[in-house]
Amino acid sequence: MVKFSHLADCHLGAFGRNPTLREYNLRAFEEVIEKSIKEEVDFIIIAGDLFHNPHPDMDIVDRAVKSLVKARKKDIRIYSVYGSHDFNIAKASLVDVLESADLFKKVVRYLNESQSLEHVEDRSGVKITGLSGRKSRKDTSYYKELNFIEPDGDAIFVFHTPVAEMKPVDIHEKETVPLSSIPDGYKYYAGGHIHRNLREEKDGSPIIYPGVTFGSSYTDLENDLDRGFYIVDDWEPKYVPIDVCEIRRVNIDADGLLPSELEEELLDLSNGEIHEEVVLVKVSGVLREGVPEDIDFMRVRRNIEEAGAETVFLNRRNLEGKDVERLKIKEKDDAEIEDTILDEYGFNDLVNKKFAKDLLNVLKVEQGDGETNTDYDDRIWQEAWNLIDNLDEYEDVEEEESDVREKAVEEVEKKDGVGEKKGQKGQFSLSDFGGD
Amino acid sequence: MTIGQIIGGEYGDVWIRQKSGETIEIGDLLSIDDLILQVHDLSYGSLMDNNDLARMSGMQLEGYDETSLMEEEIRNFINAKAKPLVHIKDGDAKIPKILPDFFGGLKRVTKEDFEFMEEPENSLYLGKVRSGSYTLDVPVYINGKEALSHHLLIPATTGRGKSNLVKVMLWNLIPKEYCGMLIIDPHDEYYGRNEYGAKDHPKFDKKVMYYSPNPPKGGYHLRLNISGLKPWNLQGTIDLTDAQNQAVYMFYSHFRDDWLSELLKASNEEASGYGIQEATMNALKRKLKLKFDLRVKNGKVVPKGKIFVTEGSESLVNDIVKAVEDGKKVILDTSSMPQDKELLIAGIITDKIFKKYKSYKEMGELEDKPTVSVVIEEAPRVLGERAGRNVFHQIAREGRKFNVGLIAITQLSSMIPREILANMNTKIILGNEMKSERDAIIGSAAQDLSKDSKNIASLDKGEAIVSSIFTKFAVPIQIDFFDDVVEKDTKEKKEKNLEFFG
């Protein structure tokens, strides 16, 4: 009888700018390992995205390694595939280092000649075949192109790819694979990537996404998801929830409110003691007048923290002022659209406009494959400030230069979101607003 | 070379004497000066009177000595009737308003006669120009984006090449970005499980999605999560009394996406709390369970069949809508479904596409979107008088305003109301031996086909006439044979070169 744990999407190192949430995320993983040890599993399967990026900070690595070593010392084998976050095509990622250190085995074994995958056999006799996830979702093409060979005996297929038929309605994934493309003949299918606890069957065998152990984005936290992993005992999967902190979720409908009324409602949240460690406030709607910037969100956040919350997240992406100007643009390409918008907003002066466009170009660069959130943030900041510092190069507009500088500074500060200094509590990185 | 000469007639009915030794067929295209005429009838002509002809025949039949006529090729001949089809003026095609010269000599058309036919923007290839049973190397295109949003009708009886035509059209449309398609396939013939089909297209992986209750490798499961069912989807698929309808909407207003499972689980006491009577509730539950193959077990709604499910496939409708919006071609294999379930599922997906496109129009984003074409077989099932109001009806009437069109395939055009037939602005008419059906098609064609009844009756497999507001005249075409198209396009097999990382 074989017993194993199946977990995925731990995203260790996520919430890079929020130490509280980063810590809870780590704790959730540690708890998973503790529970697996206690349950005396034969092995642990990590179906990708153990880390939030391929080269996480060393303190994260330290904690993760300590946990994994504990399991290994109890003779628990650990098997893994790359996820879309912890894989780097250009250079070795931490997952490779951990494999070299014999902390776990990557179970993706590609045979070039037959263009097929070979399995890894666990001491228990169970064969494990793996297929990693890729950020670009190039892994989906492998399901069409590889020659999958049906395994003999008890076998597990580990993958990090969204299956179309299992995808929840609110998750927007362009590239998925159909259930029919998942290879046949396995006794258990250990999935990763979809941040939901989902279960389906393929020819009578369970195909499971355990979902997150904690979550990797504010969206994950806002959705009241199952958090945990599976323990599979004699091929019977059982979900094990993991709760490392209490989360209070508040939704406020701001439709038709004045900024002062909304601010009052938000401040009311801090009346009395708050017992939950994490408070997530989602504000949406259209204000009766004024703009969201009229509300002192900093004060709201501070008050909630003073009332007992360890960390607060105010989501106001769907909050609008009534007089929000909407531009309708029908240009052919990005450059033309930018031109039109800049003209509409009064960036008519050539130099002024050139600066604005250069700044836009800096701000719209996407995070590189394998680049950490911190590196990405730092790079964007650096390049934006370089541009502002070299405004002299945008010559012949001396008298207007101060205006331009002011506007540019505003732009950058706006991008920063809350206007706080870097590193302060409650500040978010650019990537915190991204996806998984 | 002259093959006939004009000897009389009137506009639309020009009489042509066939030159001896030549053969003129029904449907033949003949040219004279700037005019192209099409033969629509053939008869015998003779300079002898009927008694002489009968006498001559009698002598031959009864074995009298050899009898022969002097200058027989002068005395007896074939008479063809033709209509002016197109007038080529300054390199452009016009509707003919003139008659050719008396005694004018007619030639067979050649490729050069069709130099005015150009490939339009967003082209859709239909076949090659056909003169009678002879095919010319002149490709026929229409503006696919326009034509598909203005609906297309494919009327024909069995065995005249409907499937081949749709397969060829689909094959040609697969790489086209200007059009997304939803193909409801009740015979599971377009994917090509056991023969050539869309699956063989070099761009299948990127451009086609195949949904089936029993999908092959690479295909998607066609099954619908009941949370995606809305009360209005029941219209036309299930007979409900007013009270039952109200109960459905009552549950929907309380439970939204969970209305069906909550309704099936609700006790009579709970139902009476909403003002629903016990008898209404019981009858409604019975109907819904039967329709959707569901049952309630241990307080949980569980599926009995494979089509309607309670877990998984939540995003099926959205995924299909998104794919179609991205210009992909989505094939739904409904071959194993009863008709009511087929139409229910097809209706739900089509309804969602149509609503989305309506909203794009409202937001001014429609012109950035590809045209959507919904292929529906046995079209009178949804477009006939008895079908009642449904989304296909709605699309047939107003779809073109929203860039959503139908490709309606039918053997029985006469069952489709006249105003809908008239809205189908392109008709690819295949052979049809039923006069009532020919009359229905001719009566609603974009060009005057009043003389073409015999022509349509005589169309062989793969031969068709395209009558469209997007063609200058009703073009006789020869449709390519699908297997030949596949073999030609897939001649060069790509070497599989897998770059594996991971």
Considering the domain architecture, whether residues A50 and A199 belong to the same structural domain is answered as yes
Give B314's contacts in chain A (Cβ within 8 Å): 167-169
Which helix (H) or strand (E) element contains residue A260? helix A259-268
Question: Nearest to residue A133, comparing CAs of A186, A68, A77, A83?
Answer: A83
**DSSP, residue by residue, A60-104:** HHHHHHHHHHHHHHTT-EEEE---SSS--SSS--HHHHHHHTTS-
Strands A116-118 and A109-111 turn out to be antiparallel
Helices and strands (H, E) in chain A, number of each type: 11, 17
Angle at B185 between CA B427 and CA B345, to 5 degrees: 110
Residue B282, classed as helix, strand or coil, is: helix
Considering the domain architecture, whether residues A121 and A269 belong to the same structural domain is answered as no
A332 lies within 8 A of chain B by CB = no
Q: pTM to 2 decimals?
A: 0.83
Considering the domain architecture, whether residues A135 and A262 belong to the same structural domain is answered as no
**Which residues are CB-neighbours of B131 under 8 A, at least 6 positions away?**
B27, B28, B29, B108, B109, B476
CA distance A192 to chain B (A): 15
Q: Catalytic residue at A275?
A: no
Range of weakest confidence among A258-267, A394-403, A406-415, B336-345? A394-403
Domain annotation for chain B: domains and CATH numbers:
2-114 (no CATH), 123-220+325-489 (3.40.50.300), 227-309 (no CATH)
Mean pLDDT of A204-213: 97
Strand partners, B29: B38
Residue B88, classed as helix, strand or coil, is: strand
pLDDT at position A412: 57
User: Nearest chain A Cα to B323, which residue?
Assistant: A174
Backbone region of residue A27 per phi and psi (left: phi > 0; alpha: psi in -120 to 50; beta: other values): alpha
For the stretch A212-268, pLDDT in tens is 999 999 999 999 899 999 999 999 999 999 999 999 999 999 999 999 999 999 999
**What is the 8-class DSSP label of residue B368?**
G
Mean pLDDT of A334-347: 77
**What is the 8-class DSSP label of residue A181?**
G
Contact yes or no for B463/B130 (Cβ under 8 A)? yes
Contact yes or no for B437/B459 (Cβ under 8 A)? no
Q: Which of B311, B498, B499 is the best residue to mutate to test the A interface, defined by the most A CB atoms within 10 Å of its own CB?
A: B498
B496 lies within 8 A of chain A by CB = yes
> Within the 199-228 window of chain B, which residues sit less than 8 Å (CB to CB) from chain A?
205, 215-221, 223, 227-228
CA atoms within 13 A on the CB side of B131: 21
Query: Given pLDDT bands bounded at 50, 70 and 90, which one contains residue A415?
Result: low
Give A328's contacts in chain B (Cβ within 8 Å): 364
For the stretch B254-306, pLDDT in tens is 999 999 999 999 999 999 999 999 999 999 999 999 999 999 999 999 999 98
Considering the domain architecture, whether residues A348 and A418 belong to the same structural domain is answered as yes
pLDDT at position A376: 82
CA distance A350 to chain B (A): 30
Of residues B261 and A86, more confidently modeled: B261
Query: Given pLDDT bands bounded at 50, 70 and 90, which one contains residue B484?
Result: very high
Strands B208-212 and B404-410 turn out to be unpaired
pLDDT at position A435: 35
Give A134's contacts in chain B (Cβ within 8 Å): 501-502
Of residues B1 and A209, more confidently modeled: A209
Write down the H helix ranges in B364-448. Answer: 380-383, 391-398, 418-423, 435-442
User: Nearest chain B Cα to A170, which residue?
Assistant: B315
Residue B318, classed as helix, strand or coil, is: helix
CA distance A107 to chain B (A): 10
Q: What's the total number of domains in chain A?
A: 3
Range of weakest confidence among A342-356, B98-112, B140-154? A342-356
Q: Last residue of some domain: A207, A224, A241?
A: A241
CA distance B138 to B171: 19
Contact yes or no for A370/A54 (Cβ under 8 A)? yes
Considering the domain architecture, whether residues A303 and A365 belong to the same structural domain is answered as no
Strands B294-297 and B123-131 turn out to be unpaired
Give phi and psi for A135, each to the nearest 5: -60, -40
CA distance B134 to B28: 8
Mean pLDDT, rounded, of chain B: 93
Considering the domain architecture, whether residues A101 and A223 belong to the same structural domain is answered as yes
**DSSP, residue by residue, B98-162:** S-PPTT-EEEE--GGGGTT----TTEEEEEEEEETTEEEEEEEEEEHHHHHHT-EEEE--TTSSH
Strands A205-209 and A236-241 turn out to be unpaired
User: Nearest chain B Cα to A111, which residue?
Assistant: B500
pLDDT at position B494: 63
Task: Test A165 with B496 for CB contact under 8 angstroms.
Answer: no
User: Nearest chain B Cα to A184, which residue?
Assistant: B217
What token pair was written down for B444?
């609603």
Q: Is B338 exposed, middle or buried (0-12, 13-18, 19+ CB in 10 A)?
A: exposed
Considering the domain architecture, whether residues A179 and A40 belong to the same structural domain is answered as yes
Give A110's contacts in chain B (Cβ within 8 Å): 500, 502
Contact yes or no for B39/B25 (Cβ under 8 A)? yes
For the stretch B134-157, pLDDT in tens is 999 999 999 999 999 999 999 988
Considering the domain architecture, whether residues A262 and A393 belong to the same structural domain is answered as no
Nearest to A82 among B215, B314, B502 (CB): B502
For the stretch A3-29, pLDDT in tens is 999 999 999 999 988 999 999 999 999
Query: Given pLDDT bands bounded at 50, 70 and 90, which one contains residue B233?
Result: confident
Mean pLDDT, rounded, of chain A: 86
Task: Test B502 with A166 for CB contact under 8 angstroms.
Answer: no
Give A330's contacts in chain B (Cβ within 8 Å): 364
CA distance A190 to B284: 41
Residue B183, classed as helix, strand or coil, is: strand
Which helix (H) or strand (E) element contains residue B466? strand B463-468
Considering the domain architecture, whether residues A99 and A21 belong to the same structural domain is answered as yes
Mean pLDDT of A125-135: 93
Considering the domain architecture, whether residues A119 and A254 belong to the same structural domain is answered as no
Contact yes or no for B393/B201 (Cβ under 8 A)? no
CA distance A259 to chain B (A): 29
> Within the 349-388 window of chain A, which residues sit less than 8 Å (CB to CB) from chain B?
none
pLDDT at position A391: 73
Query: Given pLDDT bands bounded at 50, 70 and 90, which one contains residue B407?
Result: very high
Which structural domain, as residue segments, surrounds residue A375?
Answer: 326-436
CA distance A115 to chain B (A): 8
CA distance A216 to A219: 8
Catalytic residue selected from A6, A52, A85, A195: A85
Task: Test B501 with A131 for CB contact under 8 angstroms.
Answer: no
CA distance B483 to chain A (A): 24
A82 lies within 8 A of chain B by CB = yes
**What is the 8-class DSSP label of residue B239?**
-
Q: Which of B226, B315, B367 is the best residue to mutate to test the A interface, defined by the most A CB atoms within 10 Å of its own CB?
A: B315
Task: Test A131 with B221 for CB contact under 8 angstroms.
Answer: no
The residue type at A349 = D
End-to-end distance of chain B based on CA atoms, in angstroms? 70
pLDDT at position A434: 36
- Is residue A427 predicted with pLDDT exceeding 60? no
Torsion on CA atoms A394, A395, A397, A402, rounded to nearest 10? 50
CA distance B255 to B262: 7
Count Cβ atoms below 10 Å from residue B379 Cβ, excluding itself: 27
CA distance B11 to A357: 67
Considering the domain architecture, whether residues A189 and A291 belong to the same structural domain is answered as no
pLDDT at position A399: 47
For the stretch B336-386, pLDDT in tens is 999 889 999 999 999 999 999 999 999 999 998 999 999 999 999 999 988
Give B364's contacts in chain A (Cβ within 8 Å): 328, 330
Nearest to B498 among A82, A87, A145 (CB): A145
Give B500's contacts in chain A (Cβ within 8 Å): 110, 112, 115, 142, 146
For the stretch A139-194, pLDDT in tens is 888 999 999 999 999 999 999 999 999 999 888 877 899 999 999 999 999 999 99
Query: Given pLDDT bands bounded at 50, 70 and 90, which one contains residue A328?
Result: low
Query: Given pLDDT bands bounded at 50, 70 and 90, which one contains residue A436?
Result: very low
Query: Given pLDDT bands bounded at 50, 70 and 90, which one contains residue B72?
Result: confident
Rounded alpha-carbon distances, angstroms, from residue A97 to A65, A128, A210, B386: 11, 21, 25, 69
pLDDT at position A407: 61
Query: Given pLDDT bands bounded at 50, 70 and 90, which one contains residue A205?
Result: very high
Mean pLDDT of A102-107: 94
Q: Which of A180, A181, A203 is the best residue to mutate to test the B interface, defined by the most B CB atoms within 10 Å of its own CB?
A: A180
Q: A with B: how many residue pairs have Cβ under 8 Å apart? A: 74
Considering the domain architecture, whether residues A171 and A274 belong to the same structural domain is answered as no
Task: Test A178 with B220 for CB contact under 8 angstroms.
Answer: yes
Q: Last residue of some domain: A190, A222, A241?
A: A241
* Domain of residue A154, CATH code: 3.60.21.10
Rounded alpha-carbon distances, angstroms, from residue B189 to A216, B126, B145, B163, B192: 45, 19, 24, 8, 6
**Which residues are CB-neighbours of A243 under 8 A, at least 6 positions away?**
A227
Task: Test B316 with A139 for CB contact under 8 angstroms.
Answer: no
**Which residues are CB-neighbours of B215 under 8 A, at least 6 positions away?**
A178, A179, A180, B221, B222, B333
Rounded alpha-carbon distances, angstroms, from residue A202 to A76, A208, B20, B399: 28, 10, 72, 40
Q: Last residue of some domain: A324, A340, A364?
A: A324
CA atoms within 13 A on the CB side of B401: 10
End-to-end distance of chain A based on CA atoms, in angstroms? 36
Backbone region of residue B356 per phi and psi (left: phi > 0; alpha: psi in -120 to 50; beta: other values): alpha
Count Cβ atoms below 10 Å from residue B225 Cβ, excluding itself: 20
Question: Nearest to residue B473, comparing CAs of B151, B145, B116, B234?
Answer: B116
CA distance B343 to chain A (A): 21
